[in-house]
Structure 1
């Protein structure tokens, strides 16, 4: 939209350039520009300093105004939760009068930390106490020997995590304690939010905004500022995490030969197609679809029967009253244990063994327990009395599940496709399920499912369509790469596409086999390397010229990477982007293999190879979507 008349110190030409630059950017993009501009301003003489705001406004101090020190908010996010909280904090802090810049962790210039005065960090923890991919470099810098002393810094940390993992909110703890070690002043205690984020994040944000308001008043400019909109605010999508779209399920069919049969965890893989018609939702390859699931009815019945509770009992919680069965249906987690529920149950049943599991030196045992048991298994093995209200209060609120989107919207139109491993297995003689995968599997065609789009800015195709891409996606990790190849075909991208795919068996687990074979024949996929870890026959390597392969040992994608190391390194040296999607453990193995490839074929030391890979990450040429 046309800009308002340019206020000094912008010329008409500069105002036009700024309008073109910001046109079409989403909130994250605008915030990045804001932070970048604030960083540049800090390098200028004090009289020239200025900041930009979240609401696409320019804040222009009077000539003799004394500028306040900006409040920097840095977030590290794997699934978008930390980003959402940080954006909310930034908006509230600006409304309270603070000059704010918001930066994703990988965009934060670490050289500025030594001069930082006010800093809030919102960071999630993934896996076994690991940082989000976008925060690896920042966390290593702060923890490392190059980190500066910070006596001038005042800070606060909010950690986000999942208490079903033993090292809950580990990254928040690490950064909070390290900043204190470096001499910074903690403004208030660290927050540690579980999947029911708001219960901790809301009071933490209130405290953070109060501190921001106080800091802003302490450095208030001598004269009021002028606020001039560059362009009107753009409304967000009509449907999001809190307002999901009811998408019609158009199709559901098996991808693995064992689909529809009881099989080991994750071996029943299915393809789903949902309609987004009328939603106004748009997505890009690399984004995820959030699904709000409901628990399996048979599991709800088993919990009620085990605890001898009536599903019709009215329970008031979270400001509303509904029957117990409704709470257990779609508002409370039943397939994931959490530390708070385990602690509450251990106290009720008086089991010293369970209580000991919560001690810091029992993390490995606790991890195994969380991996093995669901809520019902704990209730059956360690009986204890629960009343309806107490149960609802102790169980963790239901959280949406995110699935990498397996389609390009340019190719499928108003549809979105998913590749989902249906979790259904036997445990102690009873059937157990995964919440969302079972919810999808139970839904018949025509069913309406609550969904939303979760953008993933860290996992994008190259802006230059002539760049080559290397994709590593074993199992259901292949989903986003189906979208990548579709998108590159629709846009006639000139770069080559190379896929590494692995699974247990060639005959039963070669997901999208016919599609990949057609893509090879049509020249849309230029190389395909396969690793089937449980087959005794040869695991083939496929490219446009033919098929080759040899080995009777278990083959994983990381071995294929090492075998093709020379070609991979050559592709990287010529500007290729490298992508990994799948389980966290696989991601670590692939990372180690990639370091070996760089060290071996680049003639580099291990340390130099790590620096090389770090530069690829900073350039956006090494991207991971691991879970």
Structure 2
């Protein structure tokens, strides 16, 4: 072996080692604000509203970056000149999924670091719920208690306010209803309706939401939000938005304002005002990985968009659908289409759970628990979980069951990786 060859081998090995060290550093590099004195805008958002407003805030600040709250680390708190929080409250006063761990992080940060923080909090919520803006208020109070300096009073943004910019009619688009179908006319359950809207002016992704603004004649002008039950608009030959709307009936027998308007007053040909609400936490980054879909009732809507998405694409990962309703026979919505997707292997596994059947009642969380080992193997290292439906009852029970099956650490890892998606209301 010549000296030249030996030298070449040594150089190659040395270069490989350097590249390996550089790769390890890059993979494990600290997620810090690039420069000391930088402003950071962070958001905790379940449906994308706080994220959108955080991005708008960033554009108004010099030398600012924007981050989801679960990416905010101790290094950011140490180096940032200002931190501006945009925080939604989810469910019964909870943090959104991408903000769950922040208060725990805050308790681990030394007092001298927190005392140097200058911050503001904009909290988003809905005053119809008793714990209005609870998460934003909790973060604000925790920072103050630990010695951080507030740059301004906490700002509360109420989605249930007709004067909110979110309800400005000029930001909505007129679309036409092309179909209204009562899906469970013989059921004792409240009516579930499929609405199809001709919406050539709109673009959306599977997982996004649609805000609908009823006319002021309905007694209010506050938008109501529905899960889009269609694949991404760029995949469709026709720009048709599909919704599933449950008719809400109040204790005194009156129809819900929005659901009553859409299902009892609107007709084919009626024009309504709508606006797409991007919902990044429920958009998938790839269609190649396994997808466990879990839902009940009108929550089928959020699942349908992702099923149709994979039906229109090639070489997609497997789908396991676990869906719950009340009565077998009368509440098996869209069974013809779902069965076609099963036969074509778009859906590889389909489990139904009915809470009002002659034999023992069954719920989606019981299906998961009975198939715990399959859940673990199906999700594996790459799979996504997507849950859609009512937070109270189904959503909470499913979350508890998944923690039981996977463990809280593994479930939190899925959240951190953006693989656990929840469209709950």
- What does the per-residue CA deviation read over 1:135-169, in whole Å, with 9 as the maximum and x for residues that have no partner? 22324433xx4233201111121212112211111
* 8 Å CA contact retained: 1:191, 1:200: no
Correspondence 1:173 to 2:137: yes
Q: Give the equivalent residue in structure 1 for 2:261.
A: 439
2:164, 2:309 → 1: CA distance?
A: 40
Q: Give the equivalent residue in structure 1 for 2:11.
A: none
- C-alpha change, 1:510 and 1:201, in structure 2 (3 Å) is closer
Q: Which has the larger radius of gyration?
A: 1
Q: Give the equivalent residue in structure 2 for 1:162.
A: 126
2:404, 2:68 → 1: CA distance?
A: 29
Q: What does residue range 465-544 of structure 1 map to in structure 2 within 5 Å?
A: 465-536=287-358
How far does residue 403 in structure 1 lie from its aligned partner after superposition? Answer: 0.8
Q: Give the equivalent residue in structure 2 for 1:217.
A: none
TM-score under structure 2 normalisation? 0.85
5+ unaligned residues in a row in structure 1: which ranges? 1-36, 43-48, 50-67, 203-239, 295-325, 334-397, 537-551, 599-608
Q: Give the equivalent residue in structure 2 for 1:595.
A: 403
- C-alpha change, 1:196 and 1:420, in structure 2 (3 Å) is closer
- C-alpha change, 1:574 and 1:115, in structure 2 (3 Å) is closer
Q: Give the equivalent residue in structure 1 for 2:52.
A: 84
- What does the per-residue CA deviation read over 1:238-277, in whole Å, with 9 as the maximum and x for residues that have no partner? xx97421110111110111347xxx66xx20000100012
2:227, 2:211 → 1: CA distance?
A: 9
How far does residue 434 in structure 1 lie from its aligned partner after superposition? Answer: 1.3
* 8 Å CA contact retained: 1:106, 1:135: yes
Secondary structure of 2:274's partner? strand
2:164, 2:241 → 1: CA distance?
A: 33
- C-alpha change, 1:593 and 1:77, in structure 2 (3 Å) is same
TM-score under structure 1 normalisation? 0.59
- What does the per-residue CA deviation read over 1:405-460, in whole Å, with 9 as the maximum and x for residues that have no partner? 11113245211100110113561xxx312122112111110111111111111112
- What does the per-residue CA deviation read over 1:160-188, in whole Å, with 9 as the maximum and x for residues that have no partner? 21122111111111001111122211222
* 8 Å CA contact retained: 2:209, 2:276: yes
* 8 Å CA contact retained: 2:173, 2:274: yes
Q: Give the equivalent residue in structure 1 for 2:375.
A: 568
Correspondence 1:271 to 2:194: yes
1:119, 1:489 → 2: CA distance?
A: 43
Aligned-residue RMSD, C-alpha = 2.5
2:254, 2:408 → 1: CA distance?
A: 42
1:41, 1:472 → 2: CA distance?
A: 38
Q: Give the equivalent residue in structure 2 for 1:108.
A: 72
Q: Give the equivalent residue in structure 1 for 2:16.
A: none
Find runs of 4+ consecutive structure 1 residues off by over 6 angstroms.
197-202
Q: Give the equivalent residue in structure 2 for 1:406.
A: 229
- C-alpha change, 1:109 and 1:399, in structure 2 (3 Å) is farther
What is the total number of aligned residue pairs between the two structures? 390
Q: Give the equivalent residue in structure 2 for 1:57.
A: none
Q: What does residue range 164-563 of structure 1 map to in structure 2 within 5 Å?
A: 164-195=128-159, 242-258=170-186, 267-277=190-200, 279=201, 281-294=202-215, 329=217, 333=220, 398-408=221-231, 409=233, 410-411=235-236, 413-425=238-250, 427=252, 431-441=253-263, 442-463=265-286, 465-536=287-358, 552-563=359-370
